[in-house]
């Protein structure tokens, strides 16, 4: 029973990534229930190996695992495919191979007609390609401005959405780290701290920092260290290694 519940959870995560409803998959799969469960478990195990390698900065080895997971993925119903392909694009982006990542992600989007959740990442990659070629961050800042405006209700000081808002915050921190705008990255985190403190004061009449605060603090310290050293990349690594943020 527990095994089936875990499989269902993994299946739902896959559906969320591909933008497909559970009902749409019911009539698509030609595999038996047991075969589907077996495939899901095997694919998930390989993906987890890839994630561990990714967190250890072993990107080429992680790509091998994710591409192995794609072999399992191709046996799944078409509407469920895509998760390991997205992971490949993610690793390529971490490696600074933005054009390759864009190509992979575009093919993934085309295979899931109507799925809109890849669009922000596609735009992000496009501005990063321009930045990589020109070393001019204006297009990155323009993208950041639009991202903030379109999601302001989910971001401090107006709010803090634990799913969509955090996804935007991760993107902001990742981009500020990429272009070396340490102060802007630190400001995003400090705004989160102010929001957390205000919420705690309303509920408990005192600030009660917890695990989430600690994870933000690690990223903040990474920005500060890079600022001192004149380097880049530590904040992104802190995001990758975090058990709270989903890069």
pLDDT in the model for residue 154: 96
Compute the mean pLDDT over every residue in the chain, rounded to the nearest whole number: 87
Let me know: does 191 contact 183? Beta carbons within 8 Å. no
Distances (CA, A) of 11 to 40, 75, 150, 189: 7, 14, 29, 33
Averaged pLDDT for residues 72-88: 88
Distances (CA, A) of 93 to 83, 90, 117: 16, 5, 17
pLDDT in the model for residue 114: 61
**23-64 pLDDT, tens per residue?**
434 434 556 667 778 888 999 999 999 999 999 999 999 999
- Enumerate the H helices of the chain as residue ranges: 2-18, 22-26, 33-55, 59-73, 83-94, 98-110, 119-134, 138-150, 164-179, 182-204, 211-229, 234-241
pLDDT in the model for residue 7: 45
**134-159 pLDDT, tens per residue?**
999 999 999 999 999 999 999 999 99
The answer on pLDDT for 12 being more than 90 is no
Distances (CA, A) of 166 to 12, 105, 140, 244, 247: 20, 21, 19, 10, 10
Give the residue among 121, 119, 113 at the shortest CA–CA distance from 78: 113
**89-136 pLDDT, tens per residue?**
999 999 999 999 999 999 998 887 666 678 889 999 999 999 999 999
pTM of the entire predicted model: 0.82
Instruction: Give CA 27 to chain center in angstroms.
Output: 30
pLDDT in the model for residue 115: 63
Q: What is the C-alpha separation between 158 and 93, in angstroms, rounded?
A: 31
Residues in the chain: 247
pLDDT in the model for residue 113: 65
The answer on pLDDT for 9 being more than 60 is no
- Quick one: what percent of the chain has pLDDT higher than 90? 73
The answer on pLDDT for 18 being more than 70 is no
pLDDT in the model for residue 30: 56
């Amino acid at each position: 029973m527990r095994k089936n519940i875990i499989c269902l959870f993994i299946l739902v995560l896959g559906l969320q990534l591909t933008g497909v409803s559970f009902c749409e998959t019911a009539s698509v799969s030609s595999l038996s229930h047991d075969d589907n469960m077996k495939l899901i478990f095997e694919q998930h195990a390989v993906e987890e190996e890839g994630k561990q390698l990714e967190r250890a900065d072993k990107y080429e080895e992680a790509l091998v695992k994710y591409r192995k997971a794609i072999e399992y993925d191709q046996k799944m119903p078409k509407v469920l495919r895509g998760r390991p392909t997205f992971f490949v694009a993610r690793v390529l982006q971490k490696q600074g191979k933005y054009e390759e990542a864009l190509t992979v992600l575009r093919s993934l989007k085309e295979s899931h007609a109507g799925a809109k959740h890849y669009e922000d990442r596609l735009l992000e990659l496009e501005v990063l390609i321009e930045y990589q070629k020109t070393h001019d961050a204006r297009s990155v800042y323009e993208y950041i401005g639009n991202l903030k405006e379109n999601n302001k209700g989910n971001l401090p000081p107006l709010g803090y959405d634990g799913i969509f808002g955090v996804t935007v915050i991760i993107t902001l921190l990742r981009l500020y780290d990429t272009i070396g705008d340490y102060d802007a990255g630190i400001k995003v985190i400090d705004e989160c701290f102010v929001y957390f403190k205000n919420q705690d004061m309303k509920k408990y009449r005192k600030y009660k920092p917890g695990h989430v605060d600690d994870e933000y603090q690690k990223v903040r310290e990474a920005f500060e260290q890079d600022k001192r050293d004149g380097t880049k990349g530590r904040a992104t690594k802190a995001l990758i290694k975090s058990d709270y943020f989903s890069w």
